[in-house]
Structure 1
Amino acid sequence: MSPFENKYVIGLTGNIAVGKSVVRQMLQHFGAYTIDADGLTHQAMAPGAPAYQPIVEMFGKFIVDGEGRINRPLLGAVAFAVPEALVKLEEIIHPFVTQAMTALISRAQQRVIVVEAIKLLESDVASMCDTIWVVDATVETQVKRLMEKRKLPLEEARKRIIAQPPQSDKLSRAKVVIKNDGTVEDTWKQVQMIWNATVVPVVGNQMPKSVPTMGTQPAAAPARPAQPQPQAQPPARPAPSMPPQPARPAPTTNNVAARPVQAAPAMPPAPQQRTVPAKPAGTSSLTPKPNVVSPLSPKTEVGIRRGMPNNAEMIAKFVTRVTGNAVDRMDIMLAFGQKSFLLALGDNDAVIAVIGWTVENLITRIDEFYLDPNVPRDPVISALVIAVEEASRELQSEVSFIFLPKNVAQDVVQAFVVNGYQPLNLSQIKFPAWREAAHEMVTPDTVGLMKQLRADRIMKPI
């Protein structure tokens, strides 16, 4: 049993490349607070973080790159090649990660906690859990994912799999097993069914508090729209958004075209949505074109809703309309294995904007944004930013990064700046873990912005 009062802790594990992170993201959609123990491990190894110096002393300076960061792929290659080295590495890191997890669980407001860790059962983390969920996949699926996602050669992928304890050991201790060889939608249905059967009877419905959700049909709301939409690509027209690119499959999900499937069951009735007053349409530089009806009238408030997978088709239609690029339902379903979406709604329940974001390792990343070109930018962007930050703080995020295409209109950037974001300058980010995360996210084609969300940090530098 978990030692945490009034918390129900799910230990989520499984061997490499079985798709644990996809399942963790899905559980977050249902209202769980999720922890990526491997992500905390990366933070613990950042320059100045508690595990950095002990690791460098143990393995040597050859594992440090030109910018002073630990080269994790190189360190992994050494550790996986020498079992004793892997044990030593874990002995250095695990105490710091366990300490951080304990603090996160204790201060979380959510009752359901999910701890994802590949070595969960081999460590004292298992003693923190009320139940154990194991994600399972065939070796063929694991190899394929390692080669596609991590770009590992075939032999290196097989070596990584063989180096781990047998998956059968984990399965023998599982209370729940999720098979993850199929599509994201297949996995979503399993997770939803198991959540309703095993978690809801214990803690009730735990939908995220900060932003309401929508079912398949719009929920009745006070003169405000109600329909969520994730997103999958940025606009290529005069809309303030990311450059068009195909929706990416989930990091560890099978990238196989799915045959048509019935939509996932609708979520429980949504709470009333939060609204933000909108400024008159004429105050934005993006005014409706002549003979075009704006889906946001001057007296309308911007409604914000959380997108869910059962809204995937609606979201796909919106993204297709504003970008001019064909996006289908399965593109959106794949995206749901990676991130969350918030929708802005205008008159007559019309979707007027979609923002895609995720919180990983206590860092928020906003990397997708679609806006109807016929609505004022300032009130819509402000409403979405406020909602993302509320949801991020609920997930204990410490900092938020936004990435927009370099050719984005300046008033779009300014709309984010008005909400407290500043241009991203890697050399001026004082915390190494944040700097490393931003370094991995930024590209030559994007403009980065950042905003600190919390003063305290879970992995304090030393």
Structure 2
Amino acid sequence: MAKFIVGLTGGIGSGKTTVANLFADKGITLVDADIVARQVVEPQSPGLQQIKQHFGEHICNTDGSLNRAVLRNIIFADDKELQWLNNLLHPLIRQTMLQQVAQATSAYVIMVVPLLFENGLDRLVNKTLVVDVAPEIQISRTSQRDNVPDSQVEQIITSQISRKDRLAKADDVIDNQGDLADLTVSVDALHNQYLKLAQQTL
């Protein structure tokens, strides 16, 4: 049975997780790209085995888990290695996300993907939902949350699709510049809309 999928995205610090959790509170299954990205490189996983074969045993910690710091240093210094890793992981992540969607029992599914448009994953969803805030809010929220300098957050924002392009590609937009009460109202309205659309696609 075809599942109705909503692709939830937004820039760093926009509040994607807060919005996703409000949908989860309504019993909607979340399939989160960041969580799946960690699952496909868990110890003993085929993904990690291939990474180990390619980079060598030193890519793992003593407990068998992936040493992300070592891997990050390698791929940031070498575009070819980054490309190799993306070619390995992107199909694994996509396949695992689709398996999780297929197993979901809720009326529709929210796929939480920070780089939904950048990685072309919007092709997998029926609707795209963007959580939007002004860049200055993104910067202050993220620098406080992650305890990093503003300049680092600005770099991440620059590396993502522009706010203008993201909004242009969005089917639905949640403005997350108000408080939680405003956000809940927005999510309630969209939830009812997605329930109707999911019914129509059955």
Query: What is the TM-score of this pair, normalised by structure 1?
Result: 0.39
Deviation at 1:58, TM superposition (A): 5.2
Aligned twin of 1:15: 11
Structure 1 residues 151 and 187, CA gap change in structure 2 (3 angstroms): same
Deviation at 1:84, TM superposition (A): 5.8
Secondary structure of the equivalent of 2:169? coil
Greater helix content: 2
Matched, 1:145 2:141: yes
Contact 1:50 1:96 (8 Å CA) reproduced: no
Q: Which moved more, 1:43-52 or 1:70-79?
A: 70-79
Deviations 1:8-38 (A, max 9, x none): 1101112222111111111112232111011
Deviation at 1:131, TM superposition (A): 0.6
Letter in 2 for 1:69: S
Deviation at 1:50, TM superposition (A): 2.4
Equivalent residue runs for 1:38-77 within 5 Å:
38-56=34-52, 64-72=60-68, 75-76=71-72
Aligned twin of 2:127: 131
**What are the ranges of 5 or more consecutive residues in structure 2 without an aligned counterpart?**
none
Matched, 1:157 2:148: no
Q: Distance in 1 between matches of 2:115 and 2:157?
A: 13
Q: Distance in 2 between matches of 1:140 and 1:80?
A: 27
Structure 1 residues 57 and 17, CA gap change in structure 2 (3 angstroms): farther
Aligned twin of 1:200: 195
Q: Distance in 2 between matches of 1:147 and 1:135?
A: 18
Greater strand content: 1
- Root-mean-square deviation (CA, aligned residues, Å) is 2.7
Equivalent residue runs for 1:329-348 within 5 Å:
none
Deviations 1:300-346 (A, max 9, x none): xxxxxxxxxxxxxxxxxxxxxxxxxxxxxxxxxxxxxxxxxxxxxxx
Deviation at 1:132, TM superposition (A): 0.6
Structure 1 residues 132 and 86, CA gap change in structure 2 (3 angstroms): farther
Letter in 2 for 1:142: Q
User: Which of the pair has more CA radius of gyration?
Assistant: 1
Deviations 1:407-458 (A, max 9, x none): xxxxxxxxxxxxxxxxxxxxxxxxxxxxxxxxxxxxxxxxxxxxxxxxxxxx
Deviations 1:374-432 (A, max 9, x none): xxxxxxxxxxxxxxxxxxxxxxxxxxxxxxxxxxxxxxxxxxxxxxxxxxxxxxxxxxx
Q: Distance in 2 between matches of 1:203 and 1:135?
A: 21
Contact 1:80 1:163 (8 Å CA) reproduced: no
Structure 1 residues 89 and 148, CA gap change in structure 2 (3 angstroms): farther
Q: Distance in 2 between matches of 1:165 and 1:28?
A: 26
Letter in 2 for 1:14: G
Deviation at 1:157, TM superposition (A): 2.3
Aligned twin of 2:27: 31
Q: Alignment identity in percent?
A: 28
Deviations 1:342-393 (A, max 9, x none): xxxxxxxxxxxxxxxxxxxxxxxxxxxxxxxxxxxxxxxxxxxxxxxxxxxx
Q: Distance in 1 between matches of 2:49 and 2:59?
A: 12
Deviation at 1:138, TM superposition (A): 1.9
Structure 1 residues 105 and 141, CA gap change in structure 2 (3 angstroms): same
Contact 2:117 2:161 (8 Å CA) reproduced: no
Matched, 1:187 2:183: yes
Q: Distance in 1 between matches of 2:152 and 2:81?
A: 18
Q: Distance in 2 between matches of 1:111 and 1:41?
A: 25
**What are the ranges of 5 or more consecutive residues in structure 1 without an aligned counterpart?**
205-462
Structure 1 residues 88 and 20, CA gap change in structure 2 (3 angstroms): farther
Secondary structure of the equivalent of 2:12? coil
Contact 1:33 1:108 (8 Å CA) reproduced: yes
Deviation at 1:39, TM superposition (A): 0.6
Give the paired residue count.
Answer: 199
Query: What is the TM-score of this pair, normalised by structure 2?
Result: 0.82
Letter in 2 for 1:106: A
Letter in 1 for 2:195: V
Structure 1 residues 137 and 84, CA gap change in structure 2 (3 angstroms): farther
